[in-house]
Structure 1
């Protein structure tokens, strides 16, 4: 079994077998964790909250999204940094990934049996900590285990797994909407598999015990969390652009069940059927765009062109439910916006790695960039909830999302280091 060299510097090339195994591992990891999360987050948890607290489920759901996003923000940054500093016979990243899968899986399952919003919220936060114990090291491995001329391709596998898993998770969740406990069990199992399978599928990570030791004093550990400043202009532009784009997407994605029921007026059964249709459409279009845009980006050496096209498609997708106000509008959102999101996702992580000021601190700096994901997941639903509370409708959610994604495109186009 092949191993990496004991250094934080990415190899210059991979064998064919290593390429296949890395691609498979990135796809399986993102497929599994997203299936597990979407079964719960997109369908079962919103439905369970509407049954537990019929008069306040919307506000509770917004609070839970904010709390879990904050837990994700902190844990992603902390674990990314600590994985940079980890010295073990199993490498820097693998121990965190395997342990995170178990923690995330168990706590996600518990959401189906805990009795009230408070305990559900605590377990949901623990699950997000476990999830980010996996995500932060996996993303960091893109910098220190994958050559720079293959990062677009591997980013495509990450995006394809995420998008396919999102669609599949929603389809599975919709099947369990009237019989929830088995759905929560399945979600927990699949989430645990994400971490455990990854460390077995990709080429075994070399022991990090031979890498230079890092100081373990509290002062040095705290100092290591400093955000990058020197030569970090493009890094922060990527951060803001990513935050705005994901903010716009999660404004709608996390509320699609409530949009179908409260804005469009569908019943529980009809909304579940529509989500299933949307998920199939999203699965097809996102896989096509994700698996083609990433390799093309590597071939032409460009990251910005897919981002511009993706932003335009997302804006059009957001406009569909706003203009049509029907299930068809939401299906078109999945088709057009999903194609755009797949295109963006296929170069997203490659772009993030390309703007790193120092690849020796990839785990920590990518953890900071991944805060953008957390901010998008946190701020998007909060703004959606606030708009609904103030206006009494989801109507203004869609133009707000359009403005956000256009601004995201502007910031990313200002990056100089990446073509």
Structure 2
């Protein structure tokens, strides 16, 4: 099987054609799926559960101080993320090494991110909060060394005919990480032993540490030393580092629809502890149990639908309609706890939103690959699109803090607004113009 090898005329290609890859490269799917699981689960465990609880322990309970600090983290992290997403993705595209373009970044990024997570776990009082801020910004930088190159592997080494299948395998790992991370994090919440939160940081750091090496060993990327080096004159610089500006309508619609949907999901995750405690009156230990139940329900339904949605979208030859439907399910699931206001409604959120998440993570990734303006810069452009994922995880606390003050310092009404935001995402994705003839491996060689 040939992939990223010289063409017949001796030139190199940054992508793989259907003719070069007649069989589905399942091992690539396993590599990116496991890689996604092992970086996202630790990040979500921190962002959704451990960070809010650690800050609540430091400040003496949930409330405005915690929300404002989370908003500060979000603002500074967003600035860091915006800069590093483009730079790291572009540098990955330009990398020439015996281990390929992506592997060096993925491995080094996992090691550095794990080290910073250990440092976060060691912050325990107000005087150390400036250190917490610096470490959080470093996490945004180092985790981008994993995310953008890992996704770019699909664009590099998977032919269009197989991208739906590989995206589904990737989505399974992503879904388990997205919802399994808070389940793991919830196990380290204890009213009787607040210090257990720190142990959670160290456990999740181990998962992060092995994410890069595991993915690298399975995918076994070829050397990129033979690829021509891109000249960094002005035109080369613009192509390598600047946001794309040609043939980008679908690209930016995909970016912002993804941003809206992920803000709704991430903000819900960020405040789920406080919805259960301040909103529904549960103790921290009881809230941790319900978070585990909800995460399990979400993960099961999401795995079921993420494993099938990519193939279904190939057969019906559309990406945008399944993604829009997933956004509607997210909106319905988000509003259920607002309407019923009992802990059991959080489990129903897990079932309904989990179904939407499974469809979204599978089909949206295939959609992203199809809206790329230039395969030569796939890591940079996918890194920009991934800002809708990681950026939402950073920006959601900022929005949450604003909404918390707007609705009278209550958590429950925030859910109604998040539901509306998810519906906006559905409308944006429906504005994308699809070339349905190219979906499902029908594109021209």
TM interval, shorter chain, is over 0.9
Matched, 1:207 2:213: no
Aligned with 1:250: secondary structure? helix
Instruction: Choose the corresponding residue for 1:157, options 152, 169, 193.
Output: 169
Cα distance in 2, alignment partners of residues 223 and 359 from structure 1: 11
Instruction: Choose the corresponding residue for 2:417, options 386, 397, 400.
Output: 400
Report the alpha carbon displacement of residue 402 of structure 1 after superposing the two structures with TM.
Answer: 2.0
Report the alpha carbon displacement of residue 396 of structure 1 after superposing the two structures with TM.
Answer: 2.7
Superposed CA offset, 1:192-229 (max 9, x none): 11111100011x22211111111246885366322222
Please, which runs of 5 or more residues in structure 1 have no aligned partner? Answer: none
Instruction: Choose the corresponding residue for 1:182, options 176, 196, 199.
Output: 199
Cα distance in 1, alignment partners of residues 44 and 386 from structure 2: 19
Cα distance in 2, alignment partners of residues 214 and 174 from structure 1: 47
Aligned with 1:382: secondary structure? helix
Matched, 1:377 2:393: yes
Q: Does the aligned pair in 1 maintain the 2:275–2:412 contact within 8 Å?
A: no
Aligned with 2:241: secondary structure? coil
Instruction: Choose the corresponding residue for 1:168, options 173, 180, 202.
Output: 180
TM-score by length of 2: 0.88
Q: Does the aligned pair in 2 maintain the 1:11–1:144 contact within 8 Å?
A: no
Equivalent residue for 2:52? 46
Cα distance in 2, alignment partners of residues 250 and 44 from structure 1: 14
Equivalent residue for 1:21? 27
Cα distance in 1, alignment partners of residues 360 and 208 from structure 2: 24
Q: Kindly report which structure 2 residues correspond to 1:124-139, keeping only aligned pairs within 5 A, or say none.
A: 124-139=136-151
Cα distance in 2, alignment partners of residues 382 and 393 from structure 1: 15
Equivalent residue for 2:14? 8
Equivalent residue for 1:230? 246
Superposed CA offset, 1:316-358 (max 9, x none): 1011011011212221111101110111111111101101121
Cα distance in 2, alignment partners of residues 171 and 237 from structure 1: 32
Q: Does the aligned pair in 1 maintain the 2:81–2:391 contact within 8 Å?
A: no
Cα distance in 1, alignment partners of residues 30 and 245 from structure 2: 35
Matched, 1:110 2:136: no
Aligned with 2:369: secondary structure? helix
Equivalent residue for 1:414? 431
Matched, 1:194 2:206: no
> Number of paired residues?
417
Cα distance in 2, alignment partners of residues 191 and 109 from structure 1: 11
Report the alpha carbon displacement of residue 68 of structure 1 after superposing the two structures with TM.
Answer: 2.5
Report the alpha carbon displacement of residue 92 of structure 1 after superposing the two structures with TM.
Answer: 0.8
Please, which runs of 5 or more residues in structure 2 have no aligned partner? Answer: 6-11, 191-195, 437-445
Equivalent residue for 2:133? 121
TM-score by length of 1: 0.94
Does the C-alpha gap of structure 1 residues 255 and 218 become closer, same or farther in structure 2, counting only changes over 3 Å? farther
Does the C-alpha gap of structure 1 residues 244 and 168 become closer, same or farther in structure 2, counting only changes over 3 Å? closer
Report the alpha carbon displacement of residue 284 of structure 1 after superposing the two structures with TM.
Answer: 0.5
Q: Does the aligned pair in 1 maintain the 2:102–2:149 contact within 8 Å?
A: yes
Q: Does the aligned pair in 2 maintain the 1:167–1:282 contact within 8 Å?
A: yes
Aligned with 1:254: secondary structure? helix
Q: Does the aligned pair in 1 maintain the 2:186–2:292 contact within 8 Å?
A: yes
Q: Does the aligned pair in 1 maintain the 2:318–2:434 contact within 8 Å?
A: no
Superposed CA offset, 1:87-110 (max 9, x none): 111111111111101011111121
Q: Kindly report which structure 2 residues correspond to 1:14-413, keeping only aligned pairs within 5 A, or say none.
A: 14=21, 19-54=25-60, 56-115=65-124, 116-178=128-190, 179-202=196-219, 204-216=220-232, 220-221=236-237, 224-390=240-406, 391-413=408-430
Q: CA RMSD in A?
A: 2.0
